[in-house]
Amino acid sequence: MENLLTYEAVEICFQEQKVIDGVDFSLRKGEILGIVGESGSGKSTLLKAAMGLLGSGGMVTRGDIWFDGKDIPDLPEKELRKIRGAGMGMIFQDAGASLCPIRTIGEQIYESMSAHRKISRAEAKEKALQLFEKLNFRDGERIWNSYPFELSGGMNQRAGIAIAMLLEPSVLLADEPTSALDVAVQRQVVEEILRLRELFGTAVILVTHDIGVVSAMADTVLVLKDGRMMEYGRAEQVLHRPENEYTRKLLAAVPRLRRA
């Protein structure tokens, strides 16, 4: 099966300081890759590089990021805008903060969709409500008409997932999508991302601190420390029979409840 997204010996620097060093991995259709590691290990930086969102201080200084036959670091901004949203979608850690507070969810959905294709507001709404229904949102009409501040944090996060998927991108980048949510909503978000893979064959890169989320979702796992790959392979192998000492320490640090 052909790879959708490939990182080849990627090095990323901020203000000439190296933060990612020689990272290689690939992503195939329908695959979920979990990237785990400590805070500051470079997990989110890897996602931002794929979207061309490193900002003025960041740069891919070596290696390639291939998507749809194009090398992302070499693309001009005009070409990147065509890929963002339509080719690769992104869920941010705090979707509420990434939404405009003075515009309804529906207005933001319409703007996002019309930036990539010719579509009427009515068509955008119909498509959104259909996806809301598939993701088991109970009141899609209310969500469409709501401002972000009228929705809970969990509902904003779930709406962010739907917005990211309305253009049916082949790759979904999820940056700590469950970290700020309570356990019940975390489960909903996990189930919805798995449902999107089922519906659209979407490939997902999931960045998280939560080993439980990775074990529930990921097919493959990449362990990152100080911008370097510690371990990369099938989830069952990495999580249950890790070869790297750092991976073993990371897994040993996961709290476990014991019965009295």
Q: Is the pLDDT of residue 257 over 60?
A: no
CA proximity to 39, closest of 229, 181, 227: 227
Q: Is the pLDDT of residue 11 over 60?
A: yes
CB atoms within 10 A of CB 120: 11
Structure-token pair, residue 207: 């960045």
Q: What is the pLDDT of residues 142-197, one digit of tens each?
A: 999 999 999 888 888 888 888 888 888 999 999 988 776 777 777 888 888 888 89
- 52 within 8 A of 80, measured Cβ to Cβ: yes
In the block, tokens 């401002």 appear at 147
- Neighbouring residues of 61: CB distance < 8 A, sequence distance ≥ 6: 11, 12, 13, 18
If you ran DSSP here, which 8-state letter would residue 133 be given? H
What is the predicted pLDDT for the residue at 99?
86
What is the predicted pLDDT for the residue at 35?
95
Q: What is the pLDDT of residues 109-148, one digit of tens each?
A: 999 888 888 899 999 999 999 988 888 888 899 999 999 9
